[in-house]
Amino acid sequence: MTSLDSFYPWVKGRFRESILYLKGGDIAAETASLGLPKGTISVWNISSWLPDEWFEGKYVVEIAK
């Protein structure tokens, strides 16, 4: 898996509405490094849907167009 700042240039301009990205770790630092306008990125903690230890610290990141 790659960091968001490495991944986003690969897909920028190549999606119609939004793109979903599964990610773990320090999401705040990675999303901030993209420099996208406020409201462009939404983050959901997977463990809030699937209450299992394995999902703690893992997220679904949506980047809207």
Break the chain into its structural domains and give their ranges.
4-64
DSSP state of 20: E
Residues 18-47 have pLDDT tens digits of 999 999 988 999 899 999 999 999 999 999
Q: What is the mean pLDDT of residues 5-15?
A: 91
Chain position carrying tokens 């700042």:
5
SS3 (DSSP) at 55: helix
- Contact in structure between 59 and 44 (CB atoms under 8 Å): yes
Give residues with Cβ within 8 angstroms of 61, minimum separation 6. Answer: 4, 20, 21, 22, 23, 27, 31, 41, 42, 43
What is the value of pTM for the model shown? 0.84
User: Please, where are the H alpha helices in the chain?
Assistant: 4-11, 27-34
Tokens of 3: 């960091």
